[in-house]
Amino acid sequence: MAAARAAYPGSRVQRVELENENGCLVYGVSLSNGLEVKVDAGAGIVLHQEQEDSEDEGQENLQAK
């Protein structure tokens, strides 16, 4: 949580999940600014970020068809 907050000051952490991605443990941290940040669970380094909304919209579009 601290790594995600440091990378995006002013954002609040809404959800944290420990995930296994390709054999690596990462935290998926959802922030109040709509980003999901992937943080290396061992090193505490932000690895990746993406807009959460774009993923959800894609799933909704598939369900509508």
User: In this predicted structure, what is the pLDDT of residue 54?
Assistant: 54
User: In this predicted structure, what is the pLDDT of residue 60?
Assistant: 44
User: In this predicted structure, what is the pLDDT of residue 16?
Assistant: 96
CB 65 within 8 A of CB 42: no
pLDDT digits (tens, 9 = 90+) for 9-62: 999 999 999 999 999 999 999 999 999 999 999 999 999 999 976 544 444 444
Which domains are seen in the chain, by residue range?
Answer: 2-51 (3.10.450.40)
pTM of the model: 0.73
Q: What is the rounded distance in angstroms from the CA atom of residue 35 to the CA atom of residue 24?
A: 21
Local confidence band at 65 (pLDDT 50, 70, 90 cut-offs): very low
Residue closest to 24 by CA, chosen among 49, 43, 5, 8: 43
